[in-house]
Structure 1
Amino acid sequence: MSAAELERRYRRLLAVHPWEHRRTYEEEMIAVLLADARPGQARPGFRDTVDLVGAGLRARLRVGARGFTEPAWADAAAVSGVLVALVLCAVAGRNLLDQLLVDPSLPPSVRPVAPDLVDWLRLAGWGAVAVTALAGLRRVAAGLAWVGVAGWAVLVGPGVVDQPGYVVDTLPQAALAVVAAAALTVPAPHRRPVAVLGVRRLAAMVAGPVAGMALLELNRVTSPLFDATDGPVSYQSFYGLEARSELVIWLYVAGLAAAALAVLVAVATLAAPVRRRIAVLLAPVAALALVIDTALAGWSVSTVHMGHAIPLVPAQWLMLVLVPPVTFLAGVLLVRRREETLRMVALGRAADRER
Structure 2
Amino acid sequence: MSRVYLDYNATMPLRSEARESMIAAMDVVGNPSSVHAEGRAAKALIERARAQIAEAFGAEDADIVFVSSATEAAALASEGRGFLACGIEHDAVLAWCEARLPCDAHGIVSVAEPARAALQVANSETGVVQRIPAGLGLMDATQAFGKLNLSFTGSGARMAMLSAHKLGGPKGIGALVLRRGTDIVARLRGGGQEMGRRSGTENVIGIAGFAAAAQAAAADVAAGRWERVRELRNILEKALEAETKNTIFVGNQVDRLPNTLCLATPGWKGETQVVQMDLAGFAISAGSACSSGKVRASRVLQAMGYDDTTAASAIRVSLGLNTTKQDVLRFAEAWLSKEQKHRARAA
TM over 0.5, yes or no? Answer: no
TM-score with structure 2 setting the length:
0.24
Quick one: higher RCO (CA 8 Å, sep 6+), 1 or 2?
2
Please state which structure has a larger fraction of its residues in strand. Answer: 2
